[in-house]
Every structure is written in structure tokens, then in C-alpha cells.
Amino acid sequence: MSAITLTQEGTWLPADVQTPISLFLGLVGERPGILLESAEVDGRLGRYSLIAWDFRLRLRLKAGRLDVSARDARLAPLEAHTGLGFVEGMRAVMADLHVLAPAGFADIPPITRSLVGYFGYGLAGIFEPKLAPVLPPEEAEFCLVLPGRVVLFDHVKHRCLHLSLDEGKKARIEYANIFATMDRPVIGRTVNNPEAAGYMESVTRAKEMIRAGECIQTVLSTQFSAPFSGDPFVVYRRLRQVNPSPYMFFMRLPRVTLVGSSPELLIRCRDGELTTCPIAGTRPRGASPEEDDRLAEELLADPKERAEHVMLVDLGRNDLGRMAERGTVKVEKFMAVERFSHVMHIVSYVTARLKKGLDALDVLKCAFPAGTLSGAPKVRAMEIIGELENNLPRGPYAGCIGWIGLDEGAVNLDTGITIRSLWIRDGMVSWQAGAGIVYDSDPATEWKECQNKARVIAEVLAAKEEGDVFTY
């Protein structure tokens, strides 16, 4: 098959009276679409937000094999890759598809020319065959789409760039009614799986395995679920207000809607420069600045939290080392406390230079899933997770969201770990939270950590009408 190259058309528009929220409502409305935003640790928005819709290509898994569906005649030949294995099929699609920026727009970021979506935790059973018994490939899930229309919102220059894959046609913006009524979310009774007693029993069993030398750490989680009705975008608007984070996302995809505000980078590669960001060690936020500082000092002084964090930094260095040029792996920032709306974490940054000859799938495979959501050694820790979580599918949780660039000859991707997130499917909303288990973990404390991490999702879902200023 000859490679397919699409060239975008682009138009700059002023954005001094617009926001990413108003643009999403006006351009996408209730159709399938994606909004990606980013906030710095201090709550300021990152430079760019991305709105994407009019999906021309969809990639997903069907019975563990790649399924390719095109809504653009030019992309129809890519459907020939349907039925291939995930890695083989993804490589084939990416080899056969390239997107070019419009003439005169060469410096716009590669996210505007990318496949966007999510990778579920179960993909680890495809990347690592040893995990297939606990993560059957036929149960793995992921979805990537190629948007036909993209708006890049530049918060620094207060303008936005509208890009379209309709080559030769000037990109046009058409706004819907942004003040249309959105249905307020309503959730039913929330169920935990496992509940407190079952979770704490699993922690006790994990500690026994750790003491027997089977692993150093494993990450056990509990899943929350409830009936859901209403507009998920209302939930996203609440979440971005109360929990601004580096990876904020709303993805209304054909079979599932994902909403999240994740603090944690999984892996980023920009022109061959790799970055990962282990987060481990947690305390709730204090009720006052003085209590907040006291909790931060307590966190950094806690031997268990420090040991767990150092171990996960080493795991991150090892993950990068598998794909890096020799001698380029560095810890750029070590054991800093970063504060988010409901919790604070110990955070480190590890960087490296990508080895020549590797591609985006190699990068993702080496890093996936995050050690902070699996444990160490990673494969054995995940086998233990499968056993102690009774092989309950984690779905999107503990996988990642993000994008893979389609610039020919370049390796660009950016992925955030799917935590502080929820997904809505078949009338049910689900979210999940976990804690790292080590040899001296206290079961009740680890259960409380799960509740602290999950609390922000529960609160935005249960927001009271009188305090909800985000619904028209």
C-alpha cells in the first residue's frame, strides 16, 4: 500500500472573547468530540488547549485484534489492516498515514497532527505475553481517532487555529447555541468493588506475598460504579474547576465517554527527548496553609513514602533505560512536593534521549503501564493485582490517555495516566483509585488513601444544584 499523506488547511482566528469551553460547546455540542486542556501545578492553564471532532478514522480492538474504520474515502485503504495484532496493526497504520501542517504553519505543535484517544490497562496483556492469563488480550480496550477538524487554542497569544483535513477548502467555523440546556448529571447508588473489608483483606494477602519475596510493591485498587444519566460535559466542567491538573480531558468517543483530570505524566517523547514523571507518596491537603506545610513536611519525612518513591523512580529510570541512548537517563527533579486540589504528592522527573530506530509503539510498550499503578517488579506485581483484584477489568483506569503524532520520520507522543478520572458506558459511570502496597503497609491506611484519591470524582458527580454554576 502506498502511504496516504493528508495536508491540513488552517485559519487563525481571534479568541479574546472565547474560552475552550465555549468553543467546545459551540463547535462540537453533543456530537462525538475531544477536549484536551492542561493546568500547571499552581492552577494556571498551560499554553494550549485542543478541541477535536469530525472523526475520519477510528482504531479500536475487537477480540484482541485491530479494527480500523474510515469515514473518509481517502483513508479507506487503511481498513485493510483490520484483523492484525495490535502492535503490528498500529505500526502498519502509522507507516501508511502522514499528516502535513498547512504551508506557513510549520511551527504548530505535533498534537494537531495526531491520533488521539486512550489505551486501557488491559493492553499490558498484549505488550507482555506473560500477563495474558490475568489480562486476556481479547478483553483489552483502546480507541484512537483521527479528527477531521481541530482547533488549537493559544492561551498566550489569545488566538486559536482552526485546522481541517479538507484540503483545498478554506476551514470554516460554524457555531451552535452554546446556551442550550444541558441535562444535569444524576447518579444512582454507588457500589464499591471490593468494599472496605475485602480490600483490606487483599492488602494483608499482598503483604504476605511481599514478605515471601514475590514482589517489592504492588498497587491494589477499588472500583466505584453507579447508574448515570445526564450530560457528561457538565461533570468535566465541574472537575476542571475543582481539580485543575496537567492532563485534563473530555473524550466523547463512539462507545465510551472519558472524563478526567490527571496529575501524572506516563511518557512523553518530543523529537526524541523522553520524559516520565513518577508520582508516589500521598497526603490529603490541609485545612490551612500551616497544616498544609506540616503535612508536606510529614510526607517527605515518612520513611515508607520515601522508600516507595525512590523505588518507583528507579523503575522509571529502568523503563527509560530500555529505550534510551546509553548514558542519557537523568533524574532532573527529585522528590518535590506538588499540591493538587484534594491531595499532595511526592514527584520526580526522569529524562533520556530515545535510541535511534525506535518508534512511538516502542516508547509506549516500554513505559506501559506506569509503575506507580502496577508495582515492582512490574510483571509479577501485575500478576498479583490480577489475582487479588479477582481479575476485575480495570478498563481505562491505570492505562493512559493522549496522542501519537503522524509527522513522517518523527517520534512524538504525550500520554497522561488515567487516574482521577471516570468513564461512562451503557448507562453506568465508573471510577477507580488505588494505593501502593509494601511490606509494612497498614490496610486501613491504604483504604483511606483510596478514598482520598477518589473523593474528587465522587464530589463532582454529587454536586448540589444550588452550588452548580456550570449548567445553563
Active site residues: 345, 372, 397, 420, 436
The rounded radius of gyration (Å) of the Cα atoms in the chain is: 22
Cell 487479588 found at: 388
Sign of CA dihedral 198, 200, 204, 206: positive
Cell 504553519 found at: 105
Which DSSP helix (H) or strand (E) runs through 236? helix 232-242
Alpha helices, DSSP H, located in 322-442: 360-367, 378-388
Q: Do residues 460 and 293 touch, judged by C-beta distance below 8 A?
A: no
Q: To 5 degrees, how large is the angle CA 418–CA 384–CA 268?
A: 30
Q: What is the DSSP letter of 354?
A: B
Pairing verdict, β 413-417 and 400-405 = antiparallel
Which grid cell sits at 213?
519475596
How far separated are the first and last CA of the chain, in Å rounded? 50
Query: Looking only at Cα atoms, what is the longest distance across the chain?
Result: 65
Nearby residues of 450 by Cβ (< 8 Å), 6 or more positions away: 199, 221, 222, 433, 434, 435
Q: How many H helices and E strands in the chain? A: 10, 24
* CB-count exposure of residue 244 (10 Å: 0-12, 13-18, 19+): buried
Q: Do residues 411 and 120 touch, judged by C-beta distance below 8 A?
A: no
User: How far apart are the C-alpha atoms of 87 and 157, rounded to whole Å?
Assistant: 39
User: How far apart are the C-alpha atoms of 340 and 133, rounded to whole Å?
Assistant: 37
What angle do helix axes 360-367 and 303-321 make, rounded to 10 degrees?
A: 150
In degrees and rounded to multiples of 5, residue 220 shows phi and psi of -100, 140
Nearest one of 129, 141, 215, 262 to 388, comparing CA atoms? 215
